[in-house]
Structure 1
Amino acid sequence: MFVQQPIAILDSGVGGLTVVKEVMRQLPREKIIYFGDTARTPYGPRTPEEVVRFTREIVDYLIQFHPKMIVIACNTATAVALTDIRSRVAVPVVGVINPGARAAIGKTVTGCVGVIGTEGTIKSGAYEQALRELSPHVQVVSEACPKFVTLVEQGNFRSMETYNIVRDSIEHMRTYPIDCLILGCTHYPFLTETISEVMGSSVNLISSADETAREISTILHEKRKLARNEQEPIHQFFCSGDPQMFKHIAQQWLGEQIELTPVVWQVPNIS
């Protein structure tokens, strides 16, 4: 009997669903196993050692499903744990930072790129490094926005409170000639409308989800691992926290795409 190898996607919470949405759109035949560590979110304020330990625990859990690829759809975990995870598993491991940086360099005209992310991601300097490797003279303006993840995990995408928090966090970035703003946390695309309102229509918002899905497709194609079967994939979604809130946000974000394919909702058992 044929068993389809899944793509395993992990995140600190619901943010990685932005990557899931793009993978479902670009690679509709692929089976996805998603793990959202909603009980321990956010990862941004945590120490690098904690983030590495949590990421290892999740990867150790996901390996039982024999994935053909692991996607770290969390910018904080990508920044501090990507190299560690790559050294521990035999399958390709993809992060979200390099794809986002490539997209921004490809679109900027002014040569000034903004980056917003969690405290952990911004402190790591990972985006700045990735951007400068691609374009040494790029001007990078970074800002940590620690309150954004909490808004998203609560499902609070559009409200006056959300607008005020977003405005207070990033409005000052408009004083720079930024024409591209990297949403350096996979939670942030949930707030796209509000972020765009604050930054203005002349600023391109770069979500690494689209580019990451393209990278997944390219790697699987090169390794001849793309799903070729006609059978409908059955996706599996795990969360370590409140399953009802997680399911509500997932169904709201994925919309029609999640209605088109069967999904199994589960609560994992990790240490």
Structure 2
Amino acid sequence: MKGILAILMAGIMIAAMIAPAMSEDASTSVSVGNDAPDVVITSIAPDPADPGDTVTVNGTLSDPNGIGDVNELTYDVKYPNGTTCESGSILSIVSPWSLNFDLPAGVSAPSGTWNVSVTATDMGSATDTDASTFEVSTVIAITVGDMSYGSVNAGSNGNPGSHNVENTGTVAIVFGESSTTGYDNDADDGISWADMTFGTNTIADSHIITNWVVSTQIVAGASADVNFELDVPAGTLSGTYAGTTTFTPTVV
């Protein structure tokens, strides 16, 4: 009887030892920090650019927290004097990214060194900015209006006329002259003129003068009247005489 009891108790103990153990869950946590994005301008073209050109800026973008963490990509284009020409957002936040903008035309795009900056901002308000420069070329350009002395008589002197000259370039200009006494109609002058002719008849260029002052500047976007006087020699055959005036600007 004692042997049977011992075996029975042993069986109970074994059953207790192989019963499933109790389990319990414990929570874990980690705090992932926010790191700033990294934006890089890799190229700007064309460089140099001309007024009115479309400029393309290319670059790359990354973020330690994933590029999806970047929620804003903005740009700023500055004139050579540091004031803003254009600013806005790059709508496609990808890497690589690309930005196109149009330079103003004519005198509104001054020559010199322009600046482009691009800023990336992430959801944690961390930012990164990269900047680069490009050149806008100097443009020397003018438009000249036609001149008429009107109807004059043979033998009359000092008949007035004028050309209106507009500086459509990006820098101030002058019309050079090597002579200290004024324009003498040499081939290398900033202002020169030809004989006026009607068929085989001629009013020689020596009968034309200008009182334009050599040192006078015309700034970009401005215009001025360049005045002339015509002497018509006595005995000149009646008719409509035509000639040309050539303006060759130089940068101040």
TM-score (norm 1): 0.21
By percentage of residues, which structure has more strand? Answer: 2
Considering only CA atoms, is the larger Rg found in Structure 1 or Structure 2? 2
By percentage of residues, which structure has more helix? Answer: 1
TM-score (norm 2): 0.22
